[in-house]
Amino acid sequence: MTLILCKLGVRETEVGGTTYKFDDDGHGRAVAEVQNLTHQACLLAVEHYTLPPEIVVEPEPEVEPERQNEPVSETEPTSEQEAETEAETITEAEPEVAAAPEPAPADEVVPTIPLKSSSKSGGRKDRQGG
């Protein structure tokens, strides 16, 4: 069996009294089965017809059954470890967002002096002491 691909899409073509119907093969290609070698040669001589590339069918990925009640190994990441890794990645990728604010330069710091209240200060009563 030889498949011929029509680059023009789905259509019918007659060669040597035989009508070939180029239909979609499920992979987005318009192909027809041509068994007659002379008809194959006639179609392939026209630029709109070619042999289709082979379709590589990839096997479906195997789905592992969910494991329950099994101890988590140290090498297997837990959801907490994955979250920490993700947080570290974000921190590394966006340092301006995740970094703590820098302290103000020393020349902009205003010194403060704590005030002591005493009962000997001009006869005023300390409001905290009673």
Most confident of the ranges 2-11, 73-82, 113-122: 2-11
Q: Please report, as a single letter, which amino acid is at residue 101.
A: P
Amino acid 90: pLDDT:
52
Q: Which residues have a Cβ under 8 Å from the Cβ of 3 and sit 6 or more positions away?
A: 25, 31, 32, 33, 34, 51, 52
* Model pTM score: 0.42
User: Rounded to an integer, what distance in angstroms lies between the CA atom of residue 50 and that of residue 116?
Assistant: 97
User: Rounded to an integer, what distance in angstroms lies between the CA atom of residue 14 and that of residue 1?
Assistant: 18
Residue 114: pLDDT over 70: yes
Residue 57: pLDDT over 90: no
Q: Where are the domains of the chain?
A: 3-46
Contact 40, 1 (CB under 8 A): no
Q: Residues 67, 71, 75, 80: is their CA dihedral positive or negative?
A: positive
